[in-house]
């Protein structure tokens, strides 16, 4: 290793960032594709926003906790920019500026990376892959139930079996806090302690704040209310004013909607769920799974955010943490091996090699071309080492003419041996389904023996060592 590489950051990546190797990148792509398919099946359309936006936009109603974790920098005109820390605010800006003339509700989804200056640890990176939906223009509890049901379906589609959505209502908490004689800083502190379920610190704060015991007990009770429909009855004492009463009624309506969607078994009411963003105005929720101490998804209603962009419009949505879901899956099952190519083709007949490779690819195979000038034996060894089921070797004729150029049409020897077996009928929609490897490959024989008739006929020899 050179001196420069040792002393500098040449071989390093910033903390909280990571490379994805082929197997990990494939898993991420497959899960993302599965969620895209799911979102599309519910009538949602994809949108994309810039990775970088003005700080004024991204800091809008995101909350102090998020604002302190922004990656910020200046452009050449001195304006402050930031990497997006989440996708809800950018999409609210997009709807308010580009889609406000469209029919509503707007059903939108995204798959994107966001950036937060976190302390790196397992499942908590500074570059975060997310996918999610925003349902804009629908004010009722049915809209909230729809997006929560979609979050459940997305987690089920990922393969996670043991997870739960914790469902809260921010207006119940806000209603209870409304009647308390606390200043803004004290209210913010109470909110943090309730969200963290830090009962000891919360009790200490309330004991020194001059609040009477009845109201303190009410506030201490709030984060303990967790469970099924029975919680809606247990929470009735929290309806101390109209705001809190409306919050509880809305929570009941959303829960009934989730029962109609058939996902109530995955949902628990938890009035201690408050989320870290200031823009939430109603139902909020977080998803958890066994073994991870942080949410794998989160969302809720944000009816005031678009109004900050001059376009009053109700909205609700959620984001799924793609990296965290994959981490949870890896802890519950062995990761799948990265797939390899189906076929490798090589030899000295470049035209034939490229034509056969193209033909096999059209029939759905993954085909790689040897670029290292291997002889037939070496090609077979390479295929065995990589786990590639088939190898085909195409030597040139002694006269220099490419073998098989005449007399071989679209159905040349490769397709006659294996290609046609895998080519589905024209009426079959799954036209790209790979074929089973030929019997010779399954028996552990080299592909050249099974299907590379040209190579067997001409008896290729290894090139001199200096040519390799």
| Confidence class for position 5, pLDDT limits 50, 70, 90 | low
Question: Is pLDDT of 321 > 80?
Answer: yes
How many C-beta neighbours within 10 Å does residue 351 have?
Answer: 13
Share of the chain above pLDDT 70, in %: 82
Say what the pLDDT of residue 205 is: 86
Which residues are CB-contacts of 328 (< 8 A; sequence separation ≥ 6)? 160, 163, 289, 290, 291, 292, 296
Say what the pLDDT of residue 64 is: 67
Counting Cα atoms < 13 Å in the Cβ hemisphere of 315 gives 28
pLDDT digit string (tens) for 375-387? Answer: 999 999 999 999 9
267-270, strands of its sheet edge to edge: 45-46, 106-115, 127-136, 315-321, 297-301, 283-289, 163-169, 267-270, 226-227
Find the length of the chain.
Answer: 468
| Confidence class for position 118, pLDDT limits 50, 70, 90 | confident
63 secondary structure, DSSP code: -
CA distance 416 to 418: 6
CA distance 102 to 450: 60
Say what the pLDDT of residue 197 is: 81
CA distance 336 to 330: 9
Which residues are CB-contacts of 163 (< 8 A; sequence separation ≥ 6)? 155, 266, 287, 288, 289, 290, 296, 328
How many C-beta neighbours within 10 Å does residue 7 have?
Answer: 8
Counting Cα atoms < 13 Å in the Cβ hemisphere of 364 gives 18
Radius of gyration of the chain (CA): 30
Tokens representing residue 337 in the block: 């091996």
CA distance 72 to 52: 9
Highest mean pLDDT out of 20-24, 95-99, 198-202: 95-99
CA distance 145 to 431: 38
Tokens representing residue 81 in the block: 């920019």
Tokens representing residue 336 in the block: 């799948």
pLDDT digit string (tens) for 397-429? Answer: 655 554 444 444 444 455 545 544 454 444 333
Question: Is pLDDT of 327 > 90?
Answer: yes
Q: What's the distance, CA 338 to chain centroid?
A: 18
Q: Is this model's pTM higher than 0.75 or not?
A: yes
CA distance 458 to 400: 13
Which among 279, 275, 280, 212 is positioned nearest to 250, based on CA atoms? Answer: 280
pLDDT digit string (tens) for 171-205? Answer: 999 998 888 888 888 888 888 888 888 888 888 88
| Confidence class for position 169, pLDDT limits 50, 70, 90 | very high
Contact present, 434 and 374 (Cβ < 8 Å) = no
Which residues are CB-contacts of 412 (< 8 A; sequence separation ≥ 6)? 355, 356, 359, 404
Sign of the C-alpha dihedral computed for residues 262, 168, 55 and 137 taken in this order: positive
The DSSP H or E segment spanning 392 is strand 390-394
Question: Is pLDDT of 276 > 80?
Answer: no
Contact present, 350 and 181 (Cβ < 8 Å) = no
The conformational region for residue 296 under phi > 0 = left, psi -120 to 50 = alpha, else beta, is alpha
Ranges of beta strands (E only) in 150-257 are 163-169, 226-227
Q: Which of 8-12, 71-75, 83-87, 235-239 has the least mean pLDDT?
A: 8-12
**396 prior amide bond cis, ω within 30:** no
Pairing of strands 45-46, 127-136: unpaired
438 secondary structure, DSSP code: P
pLDDT digit string (tens) for 121-158? Answer: 877 899 999 999 999 999 999 999 999 999 999 999 99
CA geometry: angle 113, 118, 122, nearest 5 deg: 80
CA distance 108 to 319: 12
Partners of 318 in beta bridges: 133, 299
């Amino acid at each position: 290793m050179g001196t420069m590489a040792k002393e500098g950051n040449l071989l390093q990546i910033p903390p909280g960032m990571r490379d994805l190797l082929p197997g990990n990148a494939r898993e991420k792509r497959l899960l993302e594709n599965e969620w895209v398919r799911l979102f599309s099946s519910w009538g949602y359309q994809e949108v994309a926003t810039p990775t970088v936006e003005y700080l004024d936009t991204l800091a809008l109603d995101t909350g102090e906790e998020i604002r302190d974790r922004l990656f910020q920098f200046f452009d050449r005109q001195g304006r402050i920019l930031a990497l997006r820390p989440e996708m809800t605010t950018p999409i609210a800006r997009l709807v308010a500026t580009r889609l406000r003339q469209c029919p509503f509700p707007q059903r939108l989804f995204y798959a994107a990376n966001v950036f937060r200056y976190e302390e790196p640890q397992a499942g908590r990176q500074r570059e975060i892959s997310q996918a999610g939906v925003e349902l804009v223009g629908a004010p009722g509890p049915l809209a909230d139930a729809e997006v929560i049901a979609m979050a459940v379906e997305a987690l089920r589609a990922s393969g996670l079996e043991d997870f739960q959505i914790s469902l809260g209502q921010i207006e119940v908490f806000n209603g209870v806090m409304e009647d308390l004689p606390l200043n803004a800083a004290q209210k913010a502190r109470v909110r943090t302690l309730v969200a963290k379920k830090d009962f000891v610190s919360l009790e200490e704060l309330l004991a020194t704040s001059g609040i009477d015991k009845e109201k303190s007990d009410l506030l201490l009770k709030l984060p303990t209310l967790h469970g099924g429909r029975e919680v809606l009855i247990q929470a009735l004492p929290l309806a101390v004013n109209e705001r809190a009463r409306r919050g509880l009624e809305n929570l009941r309506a959303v829960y009934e909607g989730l029962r109609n969607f058939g996902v109530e078994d995955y949902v628990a009411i938890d009035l201690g769920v408050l989320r870290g963003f200031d823009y939430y105005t109603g139902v909020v929720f977080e998803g958890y799974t066994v073994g991870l101490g942080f949410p794998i998804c989160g969302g809720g209603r944000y009816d005031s955010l678009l109004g900050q962009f001059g376009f009053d419009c109700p909205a609700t949505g959620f984001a799924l943490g793609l990296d965290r879901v994959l981490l949870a899956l890896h802890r519950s099952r062995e990761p799948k091996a990265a797939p390899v190519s189906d076929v490798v083709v090589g030899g000295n007949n470049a035209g034939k090699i490229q034509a056969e490779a193209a033909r096999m690819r059209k029939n759905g195979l993954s085909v790689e071309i040897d670029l290292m000038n291997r002889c037939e034996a070496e090609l077979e060894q390479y295929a065995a080492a990589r786990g590639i089921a088939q190898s085909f070797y195409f030597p040139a004729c002694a006269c220099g003419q490419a073998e098989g150029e005449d007399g071989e049409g679209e159905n040349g020897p490769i397709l006659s041996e294996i290609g046609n077996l895998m080519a589905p009928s024209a009426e079959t929609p799954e036209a790209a389904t790979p074929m089973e490897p030929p019997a010779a490959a399954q028996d552990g024989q080299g592909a050249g023996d099974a299907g590379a008739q040209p190579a067997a006929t001409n008896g290729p020899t290894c090139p001199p060592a200096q040519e390799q």
